[in-house]
Amino acid sequence: MNRISIITIGDELLIGQVIDTNSAWMAQQLNQVGFWVSRRLAIGDGRRDILRALEEESARAEIILITGGLGPTADDITKPVLCEYFHTPLVVNEEALENVKNIFTKILNRPLIERNLKQAEVPASCRVIQNKRGTAPGMLFEKEGKIFVSMPGVPHEMKGMMTQDVIPFLQSRFSTHFISHRTLLTAGVGESTLADHIEEFESALPPEIKLAYLPNYGMVRLRLTLNISEAGSWESRLDQLFADLKARVSEWLVTDEDIPLQQAIGKLLIGKKQTMATAESCTGGYVAALITGVPGSSAYFKGSIIAYDNEVKKNLLGVDPRVLDQQGAVSEETVRAMVSGAIRALGTDYAVATSGILGPGGGTEEKPVGTVWIAAGNAQEMLTQKLWLRFDRQRNTELAGANVLNLLRRFILAPPAKGG
Amino acid sequence: MNRISIITIGDELLIGQVIDTNSAWMAQQLNQVGFWVSRRLAIGDGRRDILRALEEESARAEIILITGGLGPTADDITKPVLCEYFHTPLVVNEEALENVKNIFTKILNRPLIERNLKQAEVPASCRVIQNKRGTAPGMLFEKEGKIFVSMPGVPHEMKGMMTQDVIPFLQSRFSTHFISHRTLLTAGVGESTLADHIEEFESALPPEIKLAYLPNYGMVRLRLTLNISEAGSWESRLDQLFADLKARVSEWLVTDEDIPLQQAIGKLLIGKKQTMATAESCTGGYVAALITGVPGSSAYFKGSIIAYDNEVKKNLLGVDPRVLDQQGAVSEETVRAMVSGAIRALGTDYAVATSGILGPGGGTEEKPVGTVWIAAGNAQEMLTQKLWLRFDRQRNTELAGANVLNLLRRFILAPPAKGG
């Protein structure tokens, strides 16, 4: 099986100024068409580090994909180092030059300067991959049967090249493995209990199929991966095993697709032709942003009232001032009133609400940092839950969001008996 | 200077199911106290790959930090592989065992099973780092003068160990370099023009200080990094150079701190004792979530109306139905009315608004995917802008958010003349 190494170049990755989302995306796309990424390496903008990485990764993989260091400024040194590694001079590529001129004169309306024209220079021995979304061209090299591709680090430029050029080229040159995944999401059960529960299933798996546990936000994703040179009847075997796995974990099953919780809820609502809204205090729009991140969410999501300030809770959500005075903004009564208020104001079938103290400051003895009340329901009934979150502000926000969405999912599937 | 390699272990990183945020965080923390991460490597859950990575990275670095593969399930093999690498057996650590029992009986209230108890087993030759946030202990090894630390991949567990144990230990063992950064953010200028503009400055920099260009969301961050064995008078030299750089780019300067735009706006508003709100259609809560991600944002952010549906635009923001009928929801008139409506409904000094088509679907010939109108202003005046975004839904959302926040920043600093 062909192995791929991804090398990302840039000091910003090594001092933590930037999170590398490129290589996850690349790995995902490659995996879908049967290539396996075996290593991902991040190094700084240093000549020796880059040369050594090219040498070492090509000893371990047939395909080496490189991103970063192709900008027009002095800290971008990938291009001269590639020239040194492949013993070839820099030459101007006419098509890339046209592209640079076009972008500056027609799209950016910015003065075109000498430094930009240098973007059109490429190592003479490479095959140029034109950049339809930016100025820096991609470069493809072959050396001793190994393929090297260098692409810009700007995510949407790299993505355009991968989709339009690099992946089709790799498919034409290499025979791929048959890789297939089946993923399901569980909630309300720990990784260890789950593992014990399906131990018999796991130990009976054929070596061609691997089971992985991916815990996150208090939920556990289970993934079956088939990896084999030819599919044959294996895909239906995988389906059978996945059906068996689903049956075994049915009491905790959230969805049998590799989709996030917000998308699973979207599917439920579309099926029922129903709508929802959010009323958010502590999550401050995070839950609404999760929901609207799903294309097509306008079919079931009408909007939100982000009531960060208590005045907004009173004026727009109709929370009783006495409740805020007596129970406080972080209370079961408040989130109940927020759900009712959002359904009334936004005219939806369901709403969710959050109110809490996510930190780092703002806690009291009675309500310490991490205290969050959540609610989900319709105009008649609702479910509520108190959370004690123990992490930093961002993770507390994510956990509150995941929990309130799961509360809504539970409510939609089995609303409590009226008056119960 | 001591070099650090970070190894992250897990197939989920190589198939792109999970984005690695751990190593960026680790690098950032280490960097702040004077350690330099020279390589970051991600590999799968395979015995040979792990053994080879330990061998190779320890040939390149004095400190090897490892995360992942410590869970209680069969796909987690880091612990037995560490035993093999360091020629040592697994033994039970009593303190870790107490911790596991405590978590299950007192915090999770879940049945404690054999598999969980195994979490308390560690290689005999390691120094155990207790996990105050989870069940899997960390492990510290020394071999031929090199330090190896293995930690869980769960971000908040790893963060606790790094902060409380690993970084203090490394500081006590190694002399660190003096590393200091100064970062500023510019908007409205391209990377190349900026580089030409400060070419003289850049070429006169001493070798101890490096300049980096970090373009993102149509803005460019400039970072000066001092990296030297002893500070001496270098820190004041760095300050002088940074002051010079700021003066040279003053016309495009957004902030001279390494903080995001939303935090720079927060500081402006706190200084003026003023408040803001958002009225979001296409960004669906993303802008509000950015703002409330900043601790202390309740001092200036009152809330939002997320008006995904046109009914919400009419009912809660008071957008004239005729404007929606005639100009459409994606129009300058609509975002102007949304700003006014949000200021009225939420009682703030300023508001921003977004309405557009972020894709992949929903475009028309007249208003193709990527058409977004944004506005920012107060009760009297406002700035508006039409954007043509060319990327995927997520990046279009991010760009719309960055642009509308920058529009607000410009408005706060220099509101247009009344009636102008």
Domain boundary among B188, B222, B255: B255
When mean pLDDT is compared across A232-241, A305-314, B27-36, the lowest value belongs to: B27-36
Residues A31 and A89 in one domain: yes
Residues B266 and B211 in one domain: no
- pLDDT computed for residue B199 by the predictor: 93
**Residue at A152 is within a domain:** yes
CB-based contact A13 B40, cutoff 8 Å: yes
Our count of domains for chain B comes to 3
C-alpha distances out from residue A2 to A23, A146, A229, B53, Å: 18, 10, 11, 19
From chain A residues 272-311, the ones with a CB under 8 A of any chain B CB are 278, 280, 283-289, 291-293, 295-298, 301-309, 311
Q: Which chain B residues are closer than 8 Å to A110 by Cβ?
A: 190, 193
Q: Which chain B residues are closer than 8 Å to A191 by Cβ?
A: 71-73
Residues A195 and A157 in one domain: no
**Residue at B81 is within a domain:** yes
CB-based contact A210 B75, cutoff 8 Å: yes
When mean pLDDT is compared across A405-409, B209-213, B370-374, B384-388, the lowest value belongs to: B209-213
The CATH number covering residue A353 comes to: 3.90.950.20
- pLDDT computed for residue A418 by the predictor: 63
Pairing of strands A253-255, A276-280: unpaired
Closest to A136 (Cα-Cα) out of A124, A117, A120 = A120
Could you tell me how many residues make up chain A? Answer: 420
CB-based contact A31 B11, cutoff 8 Å: no
The CATH number covering residue B215 comes to: 3.30.70.2860
What is d(CA B20, CA B17) in angstroms, rounded to the nearest whole number?
10
Average the pLDDT over B59-86 and give the result.
93
pLDDT tens per residue, range A339-377: 999 999 999 999 999 999 998 888 898 898 999 999 999
Domain boundary among B173, B195, B221: B173
- pLDDT computed for residue A420 by the predictor: 43
Residue A390 has pLDDT above 80, yes or no: no
Any CB–CB contact under 8 A between A188 and chain B? Answer: no
DSSP H stretches of helix in A43-174: 47-60, 78-86, 94-102, 114-117, 155-161, 167-173
Asked if B380 and B401 touch (Cβ cutoff 8 Å), the reply is: no
Of B37, B190, B346, the CB nearest to A14: B37
Average the pLDDT over A8-14 and give the result.
88
What is d(CA A56, CA A344) in angstroms, rounded to the nearest whole number?
63
Residue A14 has pLDDT above 80, yes or no: yes
Any CB–CB contact under 8 A between B409 and chain A? Answer: no
Domain boundary among B200, B233, B255: B255
DSSP character for A79? H
What are B238's two structure tokens? 């760095």
Q: CA geometry: angle at B22 spanning B87 and A15, to 5°?
A: 105
Any CB–CB contact under 8 A between A94 and chain B? Answer: no
**Residue at B419 is within a domain:** no
Residues B52 and B88 in one domain: yes
What are A91's two structure tokens? 């030459």
Q: Is A7 left (phi over 0), alpha (psi -120 to 50) or beta?
A: beta
**Residue at A419 is within a domain:** no
Any CB–CB contact under 8 A between B360 and chain A? Answer: yes
Task: Domain of residue A288: give its range.
Answer: 261-413
**Residue at A418 is within a domain:** no
Average the pLDDT over A206-210 and give the result.
93
Any CB–CB contact under 8 A between B332 and chain A? Answer: no
Residues B117 and B26 in one domain: yes
Evaluate if pTM is beyond 0.90: no
**Residue at B210 is within a domain:** yes
What is d(CA B372, CA A80) in angstroms, rounded to the nearest whole number?
39
Residues B158 and B84 in one domain: yes
What are B53's two structure tokens? 């990575």
What is d(CA B274, CA B270) in angstroms, rounded to the nearest whole number?
7
Q: How many angstroms away from the CA of B80 is the closest CA of chain A? A: 17
Residue A217 has pLDDT above 80, yes or no: no
Q: Which chain A residues are closer than 8 Å to B292 by Cβ?
A: 283-286, 306, 308
Any CB–CB contact under 8 A between A40 and chain B? Answer: yes
**Residue at A420 is within a domain:** no
Higher local confidence (pLDDT), A132 or A290: A290
Residues A16 and A135 in one domain: yes
What is d(CA B72, CA B154) in angstroms, rounded to the nearest whole number?
13
Asked if A69 and A77 touch (Cβ cutoff 8 Å), the reply is: yes
Q: How many angstroms away from the CA of A415 is the closest CA of chain B? A: 26
Which residues neighbour B371 within 8 Å (Cβ) at sequence distance 6 or greater? Answer: B330, B356, B357, B363, B386, B387, B388
**Residue at A192 is within a domain:** yes
Of A75, A286, A392, the CB nearest to B212: A75
ipTM higher than the 0.85 cut = no
C-alpha distances out from residue B85 to A118, A234, B51, B78, Å: 48, 36, 7, 10
Residues A376 and A282 in one domain: yes
Any CB–CB contact under 8 A between A367 and chain B? Answer: no
Asked if B211 and B224 touch (Cβ cutoff 8 Å), the reply is: yes
Interface test with A, best of B33, B40, B209 (most A CBs within 10 A): B40
Residues B183 and B270 in one domain: no
- pLDDT computed for residue A200 by the predictor: 95
Residues B86 and B203 in one domain: no
Q: Which chain A residues are closer than 8 Å to B110 by Cβ?
A: 190, 193
pLDDT tens per residue, range A298-319: 999 999 999 999 999 999 999 9
Any CB–CB contact under 8 A between A363 and chain B? Answer: no
